[in-house]
Structure formats: structure tokens, C-alpha cells
């Protein structure tokens, strides 16, 4: 009885060495999904037959001595706003329920070229708009640590699938915290790379100056490996930068001695749950014991980040989502009176409440007479938020904070109050406004047993430092190795 490998690094090594076949790993993965997902609903669609076929082809290739990619045979899941030529790409919305992409997103191609096998598409708040997956038209994803609670959002399906050990890694997208917050709620690692680090070709756009794809894994080493595979310039996304891609795994061993980590009291103010605060401060003590220096910095404009974000993101969304018009793809109303009614009724029938709310807020902020007072004002405040970070990173290498003010809340708790839901994004949003990299990693549990996340933030293209610090933290802590009570830890194969 070999213990069954559970991490990306171990699974890839097992396939490369031949201690486990890709088929064996895929069978185990599909069994786990079958046994677990009915209570969580992390997946919107999956294609086990296709995944098994690919696994067998991988084993065949290995037996004939073909070179294997760095993720050969590793099962992964991708958020359902990332286009794939197999299955549907719904974005969690009725308007794209009938949509099948004719092309693969850049990240989907990169994963598959590296040998990873995509087993399915994960649930999300429709068009990545939300913080709980409750805005999915296909039902919310539950938290593996307590199924009466939300998984977080918008990449809740990806975070729950990884936390429940259905897959070792998944991709999400992060516009205001949508990778980091669900990772925190589900007790896994979520990385939002620097704006421009990864091509978004094939990611259905929400807020184009904010969106970034990121990996969700159980540990930092795996996140580093995935980032190395998916990062880099792509001609099809002109915002993806030419910056060289290091092998992020190489710098993980860098210790914390002399690393300057900034904390800002703006991140520990009113509304922060006491247990969350205690765990985050304890994590800072750990980092200090390992040689980091913790210093105080001031980020005076953080309190304006939510207001700035919800004007900018919704303005961009109102423009991006204009393409869903019932003409070229997606839902079309049955009997339109004329072309305008075809647009308006198709959209009115198939967009969910939160998507409509954001389109309306964004349309208002961009409309004649209000543009300067709302949209342009928000862009000016964005500059102030960005300047705060620029100044802070003159003094420190990284910043640390909580990921979210609370642990995962109950399903239904905030659905009637959109503003209350938005306010929960307070600690994650500013990284998107500034375009910097940031990561969520497990740093404790509250008295109810729900995971707590530590956020580390780094300057533009500071992923090596960020990942190294996270890895060093995980070397001396075990929060990331704990599993939800429903997930057995002694799985093994004969």
C-alpha cells in the first residue's frame, strides 16, 4: 500500500517515476469527485471519459519514452469563466447556458501542454461577480469544512474542489479577491499574480483593468509550479507583459532572514473578527521568529478602496457585458418585438440579479452627467491607493494582512444586502486596484473550526519573494495540511 500522493508536485513525480499511472490517479480523482461533490457542488460540468482517455494516452506516451511535461497526469479543474473547447463555458449564468467555446483559453492550453488533465469546470458567482457563489444560476457551492456555510467567491467551486481534495489544483480568476477570499474560506492557498503576468485570452472579461487568473492549491510549492506553467506573454492578450518568467520553484528555499514585512493598522480596524485578528497576528509572530522583520506602514487611502473598486469594476463590467446581446451566442428571447427588444429581453431574462445590479451601477457611473463625479473620481482615488502601495514598498518587501474580516459565513446570510456583501472584500480589493501580486494562505482556525487566511502582498512582479515567504511559513506550520472533517486522510490504493 503506497500512500496516495495528494499534491501537484508529488502526483507529477509519481507519474514521472511510474509509481502511479496517470490512469490510476484519474480513477481515484473521479471516484473522489463522485463521492464528495453531491454535497458541495463545486463542479458545474465534468468529463470523466475524456479525462480518463487523456490519462491513458499519457501512460502510453510514458511507456514509449516520450518526454513528459511538468504536470504530466495531474488532474486539475478550471473555473467556468475560462473557455475550453470541451464541455460548456457558462460563467455560472443562464445567458451562456447553451454556449460551447470554439477555442481554449491560453491558460487551458498551457496546462494541457504541460501534461495536466482538466477534469471539469467549477462553479462561480455569475460572471465572477460575487463573494459567495450564491450568485451562480446553478446553485451555490458549499464549504467543505461546514456545508451550511458558503465556499466564498467568486472562485468558490475551485477552492472547494481543492479543499475537499477532489483535485490537487484548480484555476480561478481574481478581480477583487475572487481567488484569495474563497481560498481563505476553504483553508487552501490562492494566488493572485501581478496584473499582466498571465494572458487572459479566453477568460470571459469582467473588469478588464483588474482581472487576473490565479492558481488555487493546497500548498505554496504547488502554486509556484502552476504559476511557472501558466505565466508569460501571449500575443492574443496585449496586456500580458513581456517580463521574463522565472522558475518560481527555484526561489522557494530563500529564507526569511532580513525580509521586511509591513503591516498597516488600516487592515486591523473595525469589523475585523477577533479570532481572525488573533490568528493573523500569530502568523506574523511566526514569520518574525523565522527571521522576518515586521514593521508598521501607513496606507491612508485603503478605506476608500471598496468605493473606488465598485465604481470602476461595474463600469468596466457594463461595457464588457454589452457583448451578451442574444445575437451571436447565448440565450435569445423567444419572440422579440424588434432588435432593441431582442437585446433587452434576452439580457433581462437571462442575467441574474447581481449581474443586472452591477451593469446598472456601472452604466450609471459612466452615463452623461455622472461620469466625472463617479467614474473619473474613482479612477483618481485609484491613483491614491496605488501610490500608497508604491510608497509602502519603498520601505518593505511584502505586506501582510487578513484576507477577509470573518471566516466563511452562512449560506443566505448576506444575499439580501448587496452592500454588506461588498464590504467583506475590504482587504483584497486594493491589490487589484494597484495591480500588485497577493496570496492567501491558511494561518489558523476559529473556534467553530473554520479556516482563517493570511494575506501576503508583494510589489508588481514580486511573486518570487511572495511565494518564498509563503513556502517558508508553510515549512514551520501545518494549517495547510489539515483536511476538512468530511475528507478522509488515509486514502491509499492497493
Partner 1 sequence: MASTLDEKTVRHVASLARLEITDEEVALYAEQLSKILHYVEQLNELNTDDVEPTAHPLPVTNVMRDDTVRESYDPDRALSNAPQRQDSFFRVPKVLDQESA
* Distance from C-alpha of 114 to C-alpha of 60, rounded to nearest angstrom: 16
For residues 162 and 33, is the Cβ–Cβ distance under 8 A? Answer: no
Counting DSSP H helices and E strands in the chain, the numbers are: 15, 15
Residues 84-103 that bind partner 1 (CB under 8 A): 98-100, 102
* Distance from C-alpha of 152 to C-alpha of 177, rounded to nearest angstrom: 10
Q: How far is the CB of 407 from partner 1 (least distance, A)?
A: 24
Near partner 1 by CB under 8 A: residue from 383, 395, 481, 489:
383
Q: Which is nearer to partner 1, 270 or 490 (CB)?
A: 270
Whether residue 192 lies in the annotated active site: no
Binding mask 15-54 for partner 1 (x = CB under 8 A): ----------------------------------------
The one catalytic residue among 21, 79, 93, 240: 79
- Secondary structure class of 343 (helix, strand, coil): helix
Who contacts 250 (Cβ-Cβ below 8 Å, separation ≥6)? none
Residues 404-433 that bind partner 1 (CB under 8 A): 418-419, 422, 433
Binding mask 437-456 for partner 1 (x = CB under 8 A): --------------------
Q: Which is nearer to partner 1, 267 or 375 (CB)?
A: 375
Q: Which is nearer to partner 1, 100 or 482 (CB)?
A: 100
Q: Is 374 in the site for partner 1 (CB under 8 A)?
A: yes
For residues 428 and 372, is the Cβ–Cβ distance under 8 A? Answer: no
Near partner 1 by CB under 8 A: residue from 94, 112, 336, 413:
336
Whether residue 346 lies in the annotated active site: no
The one catalytic residue among 154, 240, 345, 430: 154
Q: Is 384 in the site for partner 1 (CB under 8 A)?
A: yes
- The secondary structure of 125-161 as a DSSP string is SGGG--SSSTT-TT-PPEETTEEEEE--SSSHHHHHH
Distances (CA, A) of 89 to 46, 108, 216, 476, 490: 11, 12, 19, 40, 35
Near partner 1 by CB under 8 A: residue from 339, 410, 488, 493:
339
* Distance from C-alpha of 296 to C-alpha of 26, rounded to nearest angstrom: 47
Q: How many Cβ atoms sit within 10 Å of the Cβ of residue 91?
A: 32
Q: What share of the chain is helix, strand, coil (3-state, %, to 5)?
A: 40, 15, 40
Residue whose entry in the numeric block shows the C-alpha cell 514521472:
16
- The secondary structure of 358-414 as a DSSP string is HHHHHHHHHSTTTTIIIIIHHHHHHHHHHHHHHHHHHH-SEEEEESSSSSPPBTTSS
Near partner 1 by CB under 8 A: residue from 165, 382, 414, 471:
382
Q: Is 380 in the site for partner 1 (CB under 8 A)?
A: yes
- The span of 105-113, 138-146, 337-345, 402-410 binding partner 1 (CB under 8 A) equals 337-345
- The secondary structure of 410-451 as a DSSP string is BTTSSTT-HHHHHHTTTTTHHHHHHT-EEEEEEEEE-TTS-E
Q: Which is nearer to partner 1, 16 or 423 (CB)?
A: 423
Q: How far is the CB of 258 from partner 1 (least distance, A)?
A: 28
Residues 126-185 that bind partner 1 (CB under 8 A): none
* Distance from C-alpha of 168 to C-alpha of 176, rounded to nearest angstrom: 24
Q: Is 270 in the site for partner 1 (CB under 8 A)?
A: no
Whether residue 109 lies in the annotated active site: no
Q: Is 391 in the site for partner 1 (CB under 8 A)?
A: no
- The span of 14-22, 160-168, 302-310, 471-479 binding partner 1 (CB under 8 A) equals 302-310
Q: How many Cβ atoms sit within 10 Å of the Cβ of residue 307?
A: 15
Q: How far is the CB of 370 from partner 1 (least distance, A)?
A: 8
Q: Which is nearer to partner 1, 254 or 377 (CB)?
A: 377
Who contacts 197 (Cβ-Cβ below 8 Å, separation ≥6)? 212, 227, 231, 240, 241, 243, 437, 461, 463
Q: Is 363 in the site for partner 1 (CB under 8 A)?
A: yes
Residues 208-267 that bind partner 1 (CB under 8 A): 209, 235, 238-239, 241
C-alpha cell at 425: 472584500
Q: Which is nearer to partner 1, 180 or 347 (CB)?
A: 347
Q: Is 288 in the site for partner 1 (CB under 8 A)?
A: no
Near partner 1 by CB under 8 A: residue from 121, 301, 414, 480:
301
For residues 400 and 283, is the Cβ–Cβ distance under 8 A? Answer: yes
Size of the site for partner 1 (CB under 8 A): 73
Residues annotated as catalytic (active site), given as ranges: 79, 154, 178
Amino acid at each position: 500500500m503506497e500512500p496516495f500522493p495528494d499534491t501537484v508536485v508529488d502526483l507529477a513525480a509519481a507519474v514521472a517515476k511510474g509509481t502511479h499511472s496517470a490512469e490510476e490517479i484519474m480513477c481515484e480523482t473521479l471516484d473522489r469527485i463522485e463521492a464528495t461533490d453531491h454535497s458541495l457542488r463545486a463542479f458545474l460540468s465534468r468529463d470523466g471519459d475524456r479525462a480518463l482517455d487523456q490519462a491513458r494516452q499519457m501512460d502510453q506516451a510514458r511507456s514509449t519514452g516520450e518526454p513528459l511535461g511538468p504536470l504530466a497526469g495531474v488532474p486539475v479543474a478550471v473555473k467556468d469563466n475560462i473557455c475550453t473547447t470541451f464541455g460548456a463555458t457558462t460563467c455560472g449564468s443562464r445567458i451562456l447556458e447553451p454556449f460551447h467555446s470554439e477555442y481554449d483559453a491560453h491558460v487551458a492550453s498551457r496546462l494541457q501542454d504541460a501534461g495536466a488533465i482538466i477534469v471539469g469546470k467549477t462553479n462561480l458567482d455569475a460572471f465572477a461577480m460575487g463573494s459567495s457563489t450564491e450568485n451562480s444560476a446553478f446553485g451555490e457551492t458549499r464549504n467543505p469544512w461546514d456545508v451550511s456555510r458558503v465556499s466564498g467567491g467568486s472562485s468558490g467551486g475551485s477552492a472547494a474542489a481543492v479543499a475537499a481534495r477532489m483535485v490537487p489544483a484548480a484555476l480561478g480568476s481574481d478581480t477583487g479577491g475572487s481567488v484569495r477570499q474563497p481560498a481563505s474560506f476553504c483553508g487552501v492557498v490562492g494566488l493572485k499574480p501581478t496584473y499582466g503576468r498571465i494572458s487572459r485570452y479566453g477568460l470571459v472579461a469582467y473588469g478588464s483593468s483588474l482581472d487576473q487568473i490565479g492558481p488555487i492549491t493546497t500548498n505554496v510549492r504547488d502554486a509556484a509550479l502552476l504559476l511557472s506553467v501558466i505565466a508569460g506573454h501571449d500575443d492574443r492578450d496585449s496586456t500580458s507583459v513581456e517580463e521574463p518568467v522565472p522558475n518560481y520553484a527555484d526561489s522557494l528555499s530563500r529564507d526569511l532572514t532580513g525580509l521586511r514585512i509591513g503591516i498597516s493598522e488600516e487592515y486591523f480596524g473595525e469589523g475585523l473578527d477577533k479570532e481572525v485578528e488573533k490568528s493573523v497576528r500569530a502568523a506574523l509572530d511566526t514569520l518574525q521568529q523565522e527571521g522576518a522583520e515586521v514593521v508598521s506602514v501607513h496606507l491612508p487611502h485603503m478605506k476608500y478602496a471598496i468605493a473606488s473598486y465598485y465604481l470602476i469594476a461595474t463600469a468596466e463590467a457594463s461595457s464588457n457585458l454589452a457583448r451578451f446581446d442574444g445575437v451571436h451566442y447565448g440565450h435569445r428571447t423567444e419572440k422579440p418585438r424588434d432588435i432593441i427588444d431582442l437585446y433587452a429581453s434576452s439580457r433581462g431574462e437571462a442575467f441574474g440579479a447581481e449581474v443586472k445590479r452591477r451593469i446598472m451601477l456601472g452604466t450609471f457611473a459612466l452615463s452623461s452627467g455622472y461620469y466625472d463625479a463617479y467614474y473619473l473620481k474613482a479612477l483618481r482615488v485609484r491613483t491614491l491607493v496605488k501610490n500608497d502601495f508604491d510608497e509602502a514598498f519603498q520601505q518593505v518587501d511584502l505586506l501582510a494582512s487578513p484576507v477577509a474580516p470573518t471566516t466563511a459565513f452562512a449560506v443566505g446570510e448576506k444575499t439580501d444586502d448587496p452592500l454588506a456583501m461588498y464590504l467583506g472584500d475590504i482587504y483584497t480589493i486594493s491589490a487589484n486596484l494597484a495591480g500588485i501580486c497577493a496570496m492567501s494562505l491558511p494561518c489558523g482556525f476559529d473556534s467553530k473550526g473554520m479556516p482563517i487566511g493570511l494575506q501576503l502582498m508583494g510589489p508588481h512582479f514580486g511573486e518570487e519573494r511572495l511565494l518564498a515567504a509563503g513556502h517558508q511559513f508553510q515549512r514551520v506550520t501545518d494549517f495547510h495540511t489539515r483536511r476538512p472533517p468530511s475528507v478522509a486522510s488515509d486514502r491509499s490504493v492497493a
